[in-house]
Structure 1
C-alpha cells in the first residue's frame, strides 16, 4: 500500500528507468562540546573542492592521517592480501547522492560524539542546482517517542483511519507510536546544518558519471561540476544511491503512482488528529486499485493525495480531475486553494536489488532495495541501513549494507503483489480487512518488516487464504524477466 513513501514531481524517475517505468510529469550522554579537528578535510582534485576550503588547497590523506589509517585498516576481511602500504586517498568514504539515503549515511558516519575516535573522512557528492536535483518531496514513517529528526517533522499523529469503498470505517490508535511526516527540504536543512559542523565531512556539487572499482581495492568517482570542469575522487569505499541504469529482472511489476495537493480550505474540514491512510471511496480502475491519502496539518490545511496501483501513470490533468473529485465530492471540502503539488511514481516489484556492485562499491537507499515493495515505505529502512553501515565502519568491519527487509517479508510482498496484479484478490477489501482484524501495533510491525514469524502467520491468516496460497505456489515457477 502507498502511504508513507517519498513523493516527488514529474521527472523524478531516473532517466535509466524510463523504459520500464514511464516518465511522468544520546549514543553517549556526556558529549565533548568542542573538538579539535583530527585532520583537515581530505582533499580532491577539482575547483569545487578548492572553493570549499578557502584557507588553502585541501590535503590528500597520507600515512599518519586518520583517513589513511582507515584506508589501511578498515577492510579486515582482505586477509593475507592486507594493505601492505598506505594508499593515497582523497577521502575515506564517498557517498554519491545527497537525498535521504546519502544525507542519512553521512550523518551517521560522523556522529557528534565521535570527536575522540579515529577520524573517517566523508565526501558527500550531490548534483548542482538543475534538472538532476530531485524536487521537494514528503517522507512518512512511524516510531515510538522522540526521534532523531523530530526538529524536521512537519506533523505527527497517533490515529490512523482506513475507509472502505462502501463507507466502512476502521480507526485505530497506534500509541506509543506516532506516524510522522517530514518534508525533504526541512530534512536536508537539518542534516546539512549538522554536517556543516563536522570537520571530516565535506560536500561537493557535481554530476557523477562513473563509480569504478580499481584493482588496488579502492574506488574512483568521476564527474563534472556545475561549470563543466572535471571532478575526480579516490576513496576506500563508495556508497551510491543512484538507481541502476536498468531495473533488475522481476516476476511482477506494478507502479504506485500519485499526485498530491497541499491545500487550504475556507472552512475547517480536516481532523488534525487522524491520518486517512487509505480511503477507497475513489472510483476504482479496471486493473489495480486507487485510494485517497490525507495528511492533515490543521483544521484547514492538509496534504491530499490521489494514488493508484497500476500498470502506468496518469497524465497531470487526469490526476487533477481525480483530486478535484475526491476533495469536493468525497471529502466535501468546498472551496479550497492549492498551495503546492507533489507527484511521483514508485516501482512496486519483487526484483532483487543488489547492494554491492563491485568490490568496494555499494548501493544504498532505493537503489539498494530500501523501498518496501508492497507499501512504498522507505525512510525507516534507510535509517536502519545507514546505522548498520556506520556501526560496521566504527568497528573496522567491511561496511556492506545489510538487507533492508528480511527474506520472509520480501516473499510475502512478492505474493501480495502477484495476487493484486492478477486480480485474484480485491485490493480495497484486503487492506480494509487487515486494518480491521489485525491489532494496529502488530500490523505496523509487519508493514515495517520487523514482525516475528508467528505474527506474519497471524497477518496472513487475515487475508483471502486460498488465492494467496495459489499465488505462493506458482511463484517459484515464474521466470524473472528484464524490463521491456
Structure 2
C-alpha cells in the first residue's frame, strides 16, 4: 500500500520543548472535506486529539490514547441515535490468554469447526487461543466506563459535517443537539465509512443476516464455534456458508453469509437461514429472539491511512478489514496500540499498514480467482482448514504467519488457476466503485 507523500510536519507538543520534530510520512490527496481551515473563524473548543466515530475502531483508539494524551482534551465525537449510528453487531476474534475486553465477552470457544461442501467435518482445538464473541453494546459500555474515568476525555454527540486539514491544526465541524460546534485539534482520526470505495481490480462483499435462536431441544455444541458450513448451495462465482456461534445447548447466533458482488433481497436471507436451520442443521423447532445483518467490503483497493498533514483514517475506512476474510476487530486493536505508542514517543501518529504486502497480494489473487469462477471458494477454504494445524490458519488470517507456513498452505490451493490469476493481476486496471456498499 503506497501513500502519496505530503510535506514534513513539525511535531511539537505544547509544554514539551524537547519534543522531536516531525518525520516524512505518507498521505493521500486532500479531498473536499479536508481543505485548509477557514480563515478568521472562531473556535468553540480546542483539543489535542479528536476521534470521529465511536465504533470498534474509534473507541479502541480513544481507549489507548486516553492514558498518553496529556497536552489537551481528547474528544470523541459519536453520532446521535438514528440512521447514522451503527446498529448492534457482533465482533469475533481469537486471542491467547486474558484480554482487555474479557469482562464484556459474551462467550468464548476452545474449538473451531468447519463443514466442507461434501459434509466432511473438521473439528479441532485451538489452544492456547480462544475464539471470542463480543457484542457492540457490551463493548461500548465497558470502554465508555474506562473513558469516563479519564478527566481529559470528552465525548460529544453530533453529526460531523466536515473535517478540514491544516498545517498546524485540523478542524471538525459538528452538528450537535445544542447547536453547531467547531473543534480544532492537533490530530484527527476519522473512522466514518467512506462515501465510495477506492478503485480496485476486484470488489466483492461479505454480506450476511443472522438470527439469534432458541431451540426446543438441545442441538448445539457450546464448546465449538462453527466458522464455516459449506453444505449450502454455492453461487457460480462466490461463496455461501453457514456460521454458528453456540452460547448454550439451545441458544446460538446462526448466520447465512455470502461472498459475492451484490447483496440479496431481504427475503432471500431469511429463506437461506430457514433452509440452513431446518434442512442442514435439522432444527425442527426454534424461536428467533433477535437479528443482525451487515455487509463488509472485500476488495484489493488501496485505502490511504493519511488524508492530510493532521488527519488520518482508521478502521475499515483505513483498510483495517482483511480483504479475503472480512475480519477487522483484531487489526483495529493493533493499529490503536501503534498509534498510541507513536504519539507517546512524540512521532507523527500515522496508523501503520494494517496488513503485510504479501498478504494483500495473496488476498487479491484469491478474490480474483473466486470472482472469475476459476476456483471453488468453498472447496479452497475447507481444504485450507483441513490441511494442517488450525493455529497456523488462524495466524495466517490474523496476519501473523511466516513465509514458510504460507508456502505450505499455497500447495493446498489449485496451483494452475491461482498461477494464471497471479499473472493476470498486474495487467488489470483498477476501476472505481459507484458507492461504498
* TM-score, with length taken from structure 1: 0.81
Q: For residue 218 of structure 1, what is the aligned residue in structure 2?
A: 169
Q: Is the 8 A contact 2:207 2:263 kept in 1?
A: yes
**1:374-406 per-position Cα deviation (integer Å, ceiling 9, x unaligned):** 000000000000000000111111100000111
Please, which of 256, 273, 280 is the counterpart of residue 323 of structure 1? 273
CA distance in 1, matches of 2:23, 2:280: 61
What is aligned with 1:121? 73
State whether structure 2 residue 140 is matched by structure 1 residue 188: yes
For the pair 1:76 / 2:21, whether they are aligned, the reply is: yes
Does 2:62 correspond to 1:106? yes
- The residue number in structure 2 matching 1:350 is 300
Whole-angstrom CA distance in 2 between matches of 1:404 and 1:67: 26
Partner of 1:164: 116
Matched, 1:282 2:223: no
Partner residue of 1:389 out of 330, 334, 339: 339
Unaligned runs of 5+ in 2: 1-11, 25-42
User: Shift in Å at residue 120 of structure 1?
Assistant: 4.8
Aligned partner of residue 425 in structure 2, secondary structure: helix
- For 2:53, the equivalent position in structure 1 comes to 97
| Offset of residue 110 of structure 1 | 1.5
8 Å CA contact retained: 1:438, 1:462: no
| CA distance in 1 between partners of 2:221 and 2:378 (Å) | 23
Tell me what 2:82 maps to. Answer: 130
From the superposition, tell whether residues 74 and 344 of structure 1 become closer, same or farther in structure 2 (CA, over 3 Å): farther
Partner residue of 2:408?
A: 458
C-alpha RMSD of matched pairs (Å) = 1.7
Change (3 A) 1:471 1:334: same
Aligned ranges 1:222-261 → 2 under 5 Å: 222-227=173-178, 229-261=179-211
1:437 aligned residue: 387
CA contact (8 A) 2:23 2:348 kept: no
Corresponding residue of 1:374: 324
Decide whether the 8 Å contact of 2:23 with 2:347 is kept in 1.
no
Name the CA distance, whole Å, in 2 between partners of 1:444 and 1:127: 34
Change (3 A) 1:192 1:479: same
**In structure 2, C-alpha distance between the alignment counterparts of 1:289 and 1:341, rounded to whole Å:** 22
Deviation of residue 285 (structure 1)?
A: 1.9
Q: Distance in 1 between matches of 2:423 and 2:406?
A: 18
Residue in structure 2 matched with residue 359 of structure 1 by the alignment? 309
Deviates more, 1:201-210 or 1:165-174: 165-174
In the alignment, which residue of structure 2 is the partner of 1:31? none
Q: Residues of 2 paired with 1:244 and 1:186: CA distance?
A: 26
Residue 427 in structure 1 maps to residue 377 in structure 2: yes
Is 1:312 matched with 2:258?
Answer: no
Deviations 1:267-296 (A, max 9, x none): 100000011110011121232120000000
Shift of 1:75: 6.7
Q: 2:64–2:337: 8 Å Cα contact kept in structure 1?
A: yes
Partner SS, residue 316 of structure 2: helix
Q: Tell me the TM-score normalised to structure 2 length.
A: 0.89
Cα deviation, residue 210, structure 1: 0.7
Match of 2:158 among 192, 201, 206: 206
3-state SS, counterpart of residue 358 of structure 1: coil
1:467–1:120 CA distance, 2 compared to 1 (3 A) = farther
CA distance in 2, matches of 1:433, 1:443: 11
Change over 3 Å in CA distance of 1:232–1:427 after alignment to 2: same
Alignment CA distance shift 1:338-1:235 (3 Å) = same
Q: 5+ unaligned residues in a row in structure 1: which ranges? A: 1-65, 80-87
- Does the 8 A contact of 2:48 with 2:71 survive in 1? no
Instruction: Mark the CA change 1:382 to 1:152 in structure 2 (over 3 Å): closer, same or farther.
Output: same
Output the CA distance in 1 between the equivalents of 2:138 and 2:127.
25
Give the whole-Å Cα distance in 2 for the aligned partners of 1:367 and 1:470. Answer: 31
Give the match's secondary structure for 2:81: coil
Q: Larger deviation: 363-372 or 458-467? A: 458-467
C-alpha contact 2:50 2:77 (8 A) present in aligned 1: yes
- Quick check: 1:67–1:121 contact (8 Å CA) kept in 2? no
Deviation at 1:321, TM superposition (A): 0.8
Q: What residue in structure 2 maps to residue 293 of structure 1?
A: 243
Separation (CA, whole Å) in 2 of partners of 1:143 and 1:355:
26
